[in-house]
Structure 1
Amino acid sequence: MRTKIHALVHGEPQMISRRGILLAAAAAGAGTLAGCGPARRTVVAPASSAPPAPSARPAASPAQPRLIGDGSTSDTGPQPHQPVARALAPGEEPPQFVVFSWDGSGRADLFTRFRELAAELHGTMTFFLTGLYTLPKSKRMLYKPPRHPVGASAIGWFSDRSVHGTIGQLGPAWLAGNEIGTHFNGHFCGPGGVERWSPADWDSEIDQALSFVRNWRTNTGFTDLPPLPFDYAKELIGGRTPCLEGQKNLLKASRVRKWKYDSSGTGTQVWPRQWKNGLWQVPMQSIPFPGHSFEVISMDYNIMFNQSKTPHGDPAMHPKWKAQARDAYLAGFRRAYHGNRAPLIIGNHFENWNRGIYMDAVSEAARAMAQHPNVRFVSFRQLVAWLEAQNDAVLERLRALPVGRAPRGGWAEYLVPA
């Protein structure tokens, strides 16, 4: 039986299933991404690969970018601020990768906040864009959600002002080196939702997400925004499903065959593997939950549900809950950093749940992580590039390490040719 609660997801009211978003805690149980320079206490990426400060980001577009379609997007060449991935040297300690990812990414003020945090950390993040956040409500009938009425949406619709603000964030985020993935469109969860979708349904949903981004100029009528500096059809290499549901058939969709990874579902703090179709598995992770005997999924919503079961919990508890959320992220970080060095995957939303304490917890945790040497704040795109640059035998050795287990004898002895 499913327990449903009212919640706010990406700024709109909706019913969320306890099962669908995995609200209950999980049961316990040139520079390079590899980094070769001297360690510094605040190093999070090699200096040559760090994005510039938000106030000093250079224009990376060529003088005459190639416009695509109606001019909503353009081809400006390779994405700037992408570190060159290289294989680990024999016996080299792997970096501690941290991926902060944002589901929806549809509020301009919060988008700005976390673009600036990424720049402060000399790193990047992944923003999983909900396609409907680029489509005005007046054009909602353009959306044909699988197995739902035309124009339907489980998360409502943004105002024109919010759509304008969201579109305005995408270009600067990409130019700073961040990744624009997808959170798909209508966010249909629970009974009758994406869990029932066929591979063809997912293909339709992906095609529409691409179309809304690639045709925002026609759909919105906005003339005061520049074209996005990327071709979304080429940029899009991964996503996360609504409520972490529907992954089985998503992976069978033909559009996904061109992707590199999927971050739906749940897992543990181990090194990523690939499915038979070649996609990398980078799911949400179970991390320690301070004060509890069980673990929690590494996402703000799951922590919130285990604390207050509502986005509007007791204000008197907010300081305690924020500290607990921050400490959960840091506990997951320490377990990996001092253990198997598996990438830490954290998922969040642009939401003011319990007055924004979870976004504050992310910021505090990230700054604390940045004080450790050999930490890299990266996007999923950059993480996958690093994984694909490694020797298969090295990856198998990394995957052989259990959660939180450092190699006996140290990395110099563990990661050497047999």
Structure 2
Amino acid sequence: MPDISRRGLLGAGLGAVAAAGLAGCGASGGGDAGQTGLPGLGRGPGKPAKSQARLIGDGSTADTGRQPNQPDKPVRLEPGQTPPQFVIFSWDGAGEVGNGLFPRFLDLARDHGAGMTFFLSGLYVLPESKRSLYRPPNNPVGASDIGYLSDAHVKETLKYTRQAWLDGHEIGTHFNGHFCGGSGSVANWTPAQWNSEIDQAVSFVTEWRTNTGWGEEDPLPFDYHRELVGGRTPCLLGQDNLLAAVEERGWRYDASSPGGRQKWPEKRHGVWDLPLQGIPFPGHSFEVLSMDYNILANQSKNSTKGMTSRYPGWRTQATASYMAGFKRAYETNRAPFYIGNHFEEWNGGIYMDAVEEALKGMAGKPDVRLVSFRQFVDWLDAQDPRVLDRLRSLEVGQAPPGGWNAFFKAA
């Protein structure tokens, strides 16, 4: 049984927990500094006119023009201005398996003007009958540690992926087979193998119509070759070689680094490195990684059954952990806060409840922006590099000495 102690979680990401129901990520196999959220999301989903759509390739995707429900063009911070507090909620796998979690969080985001990032696993739009099309590096043809979705769930995943993009959210990638252990682990993949994995993930998303034979389904309303600018690796493994691959592809960020700290980010290999972060874990002297799975692993170890009496306390603890991480940044260095999630009902769904309560607790506060990773790096790239360097000088939980105006003047 793998070590999922707090040190292992913070130092090596998720680990390769093998307990049933815990090995996969995602669905199980079966403007201005004071601006809040994303203007326009509260108006409901957008839908471009069909006359605007230009089908791409086999018609699985389409260019429908500018994405609806986007924030205003980012502007540079003015001298002495308080930075926004960015919070990015992201979802690994992003498949809908009939538990209603994908639409639940689309509704929640719409209600609170939030943008999110959905890291779509390419296999979640590939029918199992076509599994031989997948050739994972260092693994047998068609292998997958997260399995394949039923045809009905593939259709649901396509439906909500469409809606997510129209609502203003980002569609990134969680790659394909989610291999975390053994000789086939993504930790051992070369840059060339990562390129193969990405090419396959893109092909599954852009050729789902050919692979399924479903001519009646609407296309995904975006050009995935342009949309895809970042991702998160399975179990937060293999980032170094991935970066060597995606730098040449022009990716703008990667969210795969484990054990980050609540500080302002920097680039690696020309790509913004946006890691999951260590955050306070109420009742403990150590920190936990800002992902539902890592909180679960510290609470219930290798089991998710037979502990129902502890669910209420764990739910409260998970919510409090997210809010403590948010408060620490919001009241001090304003470092962006990244929260990773899965559409899973682990421990009775308490982590989904905790994420919802945390989002509600953050939304609407002054200077808070709930955005996608892509929207966040749009803002970063618009800033004066000297300002970002100054922000990076602030440690975790360190407020700017003398306040923000004095802090920037001192530079």
TM-score, normalised relative to structure 1 = 0.90
1:12-411 matches, cutoff 5 A: 12=28, 32=31, 34-36=32-34, 44-45=36-37, 49-53=39-43, 56-61=44-49, 63-83=51-71, 84-107=73-96, 109-192=100-183, 193-253=185-245, 257-266=249-258, 267-275=260-268, 277-309=269-301, 310-411=303-404
Return closer, same or farther for 1:318/1:134 CA change in 2, 3 Å cut-off: same
Q: Which amino acid aligns with 1:300?
A: D
Task: Output the aligned Cα RMSD.
Answer: 1.7
Unaligned 5+ runs, structure 1 = 15-31, 38-43
Return closer, same or farther for 1:254/1:126 CA change in 2, 3 Å cut-off: closer
Return closer, same or farther for 1:410/1:377 CA change in 2, 3 Å cut-off: same
Cα displacement string for residues 380-407 of structure 1 (whole angstroms, at most 9, x for unaligned residues): 0000000011101110111000001110
Q: Distance in 2 between matches of 1:97 and 1:147?
A: 38
Q: CA deviation at 1:64?
A: 3.6
Greater Cα offset, 301-310 or 103-112: 103-112
* 8 Å Cα contact 1:237-1:258 kept in structure 2: yes
Q: Distance in 1 between matches of 2:304 and 2:96?
A: 17
User: In the comparison of the two structures, how many residue pairs are matched?
Assistant: 389
Cα displacement string for residues 202-230 of structure 1 (whole angstroms, at most 9, x for unaligned residues): 00000000000001111112233211110
Q: Distance in 1 between matches of 2:207 and 2:335?
A: 39
Q: Which amino acid aligns with 1:76?
A: T
Q: CA deviation at 1:172?
A: 1.2
Cα displacement string for residues 62-111 of structure 1 (whole angstroms, at most 9, x for unaligned residues): 62411101100011112122221110111100111000000000016211
Q: Distance in 2 between matches of 1:372 and 1:65?
A: 37
Partner of 1:17: none
* 8 Å Cα contact 2:33-2:82 kept in structure 1: no
Displacement over 6 Å in runs of 4+:
none
* 8 Å Cα contact 2:29-2:148 kept in structure 1: no
Structure 1 residue matching 2:279: 3-state secondary structure: strand
* 8 Å Cα contact 1:127-1:179 kept in structure 2: yes
Q: CA deviation at 1:2?
A: 3.8
Structure 2 residue matching 1:237: 3-state secondary structure: coil
* 8 Å Cα contact 1:95-1:374 kept in structure 2: yes
* 8 Å Cα contact 1:136-1:158 kept in structure 2: yes
Structure 2 residue matching 1:284: 3-state secondary structure: coil
* 8 Å Cα contact 2:247-2:270 kept in structure 1: no
Q: CA deviation at 1:140?
A: 0.5
* 8 Å Cα contact 1:6-1:13 kept in structure 2: no
Return closer, same or farther for 1:67/1:86 CA change in 2, 3 Å cut-off: same
Greater Cα offset, 144-153 or 58-67: 58-67
Q: Distance in 1 between matches of 2:52 and 2:239?
A: 40
* 8 Å Cα contact 2:34-2:84 kept in structure 1: no
Q: CA deviation at 1:325?
A: 0.3
Q: CA deviation at 1:373?
A: 1.2
Return closer, same or farther for 1:217/1:57 CA change in 2, 3 Å cut-off: same
TM-score, normalised relative to structure 2 = 0.91
